[in-house]
Chain A
Amino acid sequence: MGTRIQSNRDNFNIVSRPLIILLALLPQLALAHGVHVTISAGEEAIAGQATYADGSPLVDASIKLSRSNSSTGDRLLAQSRTNDEGRFAFPTPRDQVELTITADDGLGHRGTAIVMSAEQLPGALATPRAAPAPAPRLIDHSHDTSNWARWVSGLGYLLGLFGAVSWWMSRRGASRSRD
């Protein structure tokens, strides 16, 4: 009987440890599609970098600089593309109160940063703001080379879940049959 309980405890460790590690990874994966736009705005130029949540750059992504206007909608001032490191730069427009910079990789990943002028916000600094999630229905991942990795990890999660549930069931069944 004593060895029986011991083996159950060993099982718990074997199953629970990877499970806890998996759970710890979840929030990170959930953010994998977020885009961060970091900005440094000066008197002469506005420079910035667009990265995915995992830190990799948005290469050759569209960058739009617009004047924010709640009543008439944003007006596009300039357009550019990011380089290999996800970096971009614009000359600082004159007489602009609030500017919006939008990075879009064309695959449904988008990030926005708002730049306010000195009159509005002391220090003329950037306030990166979380962009609303793009409509996920429109995302087409069929040309994404990393699909295989996602499929494999998804199946891995399912296998782990299956293992965990069947372990739990067999434990419950074992304790019932002992009663």
Chain B
Amino acid sequence: MHLAAGVLGLPTFVGSAILATAGIAIGLRKLTPRSLPSAALFAAVFFIVGTIHIPIGIGSVHLILNGLIGLLLGWLAFPVIFVALVLQALLFSFGGFAVLGANTLLLAAPAVMAHFALRPFVENSLGSQRKLLWLGLFAATIGIGGAALIAVTMLWSTGQQALLNLMVLFGVAQIPVWIIDAAVSALVVATLGRNLPQVFVK
């Protein structure tokens, strides 16, 4: 899910850049020697999965996993997603540098939301595979749903009539993304919860 350069109005563009910068700053303050390796690992994961396109029907989708990253990393999702998006823009010309702020906000804000919404339930769920699967599914739902909502809000705030069609298309296009993201996030959370529960314990 990337917004392309040139579709956003100036106020939205500047506002999202400021919010993304604030998020990155908060995230960097939370960076500790202990959390750094997992942050780097998930930056790598986010960078790679965003560039692997799975053809579905007329288009193609790729994993986003922002909800999963948020659940595991919290505010660190901002710098992690930002760095991965920079690399995607640099090496794959996805999104573009002009909309880095908007795209970072779009993907990282729901990630942080997923963290605060679901984190309290994680420790109680560690014993149950079923609960962990649900947590992963909810994380992906908040991640993708939130990102789609923010994207539509950003497009709406530019106020262009022609973009209204784009919004519906954008929402519908996220459904297959949500399905694969939910499946993968659920499996990852369940596997981590069983084999590496310490990643969920602060």
What total of chain B residues lie within 8 Å of the partner, measured CB to CB? 32
- For the complex, give the distance between the alpha carbons of A136 and B6 in Å: 11
Q: Is A17 an interface residue (CB 8 A)?
A: no
Question: B96 and A142: CB pair below 8 A?
Answer: no
Residue of B nearest to A143 (CB): B53
> Interface residues, chain B, CB within 8 Å of chain A?
2-6, 31-33, 36-37, 40, 43-44, 47-48, 51-53, 55, 60, 83-84, 87-88, 90-97
Min Cβ gap A58→B in Å is 15
Min Cβ gap B62→A in Å is 9
> Interface residues, chain A, CB within 8 Å of chain B?
26, 29-30, 32-33, 108, 132-133, 135-137, 139-142, 147, 150-151, 153-155, 157-159, 161-162, 165-166, 169-170, 173
Min Cβ gap B199→A in Å is 17
Question: A153 and B40: CB pair below 8 A?
Answer: no
Add 8 more A-B contacts to A30-B97, A135-B4, A136-B2 (CB < 8 A). A136-B5, A136-B95, A141-B92, A154-B90, A158-B83, A158-B84, A165-B40, A166-B33
Which residue from A135, A150, A159, A170 sits with its C-beta under 8 Å from B91? A150
A–B complex contacts, Cβ < 8 Å, 11 sampled: A30-B90, A32-B93, A132-B6, A136-B94, A140-B53, A140-B60, A150-B51, A151-B48, A162-B37, A166-B33, A169-B31
Min Cβ gap A47→B in Å is 29
- For the complex, give the distance between the alpha carbons of A30 and B87 in Å: 10
Question: B51 and A151: CB pair below 8 A?
Answer: yes
Question: A133 and B60: CB pair below 8 A?
Answer: no
Which residue from A108, A159, A169 sits with its C-beta under 8 Å from B33? A169
Given contacts A147-B51, A151-B48, are A142 and B60 in contact (CB under 8 A)? yes
Given contacts A142-B55, A151-B51, are A165 and B31 in contact (CB under 8 A)? yes
Question: B83 and A161: CB pair below 8 A?
Answer: yes
Chain B residues whose CB sits within 8 angstroms of the CB of A147 once the complex forms? 51
Query: Which of B31, B32, B43 neighbours the largest number of chain A CB atoms within 10 Å of its CB?
Result: B43
- For the complex, give the distance between the alpha carbons of A172 and B51 in Å: 35
Given contacts A140-B60, A142-B55, A155-B47, are A166 and B36 in contact (CB under 8 A)? yes
Chain B residues whose CB sits within 8 angstroms of the CB of A26 once the complex forms? 90
Question: B44 and A150: CB pair below 8 A?
Answer: no
Min Cβ gap A155→B in Å is 6
- For the complex, give the distance between the alpha carbons of A122 and B99 in Å: 39
- For the complex, give the distance between the alpha carbons of A30 and B88 in Å: 10
Query: Which of B31, B37, B43, B92 neighbours the largest number of chain A CB atoms within 10 Å of its CB?
Result: B92
Question: A154 and B94: CB pair below 8 A?
Answer: no
Which residue from A139, A154, A158, A166 sits with its C-beta under 8 Å from B93? A139
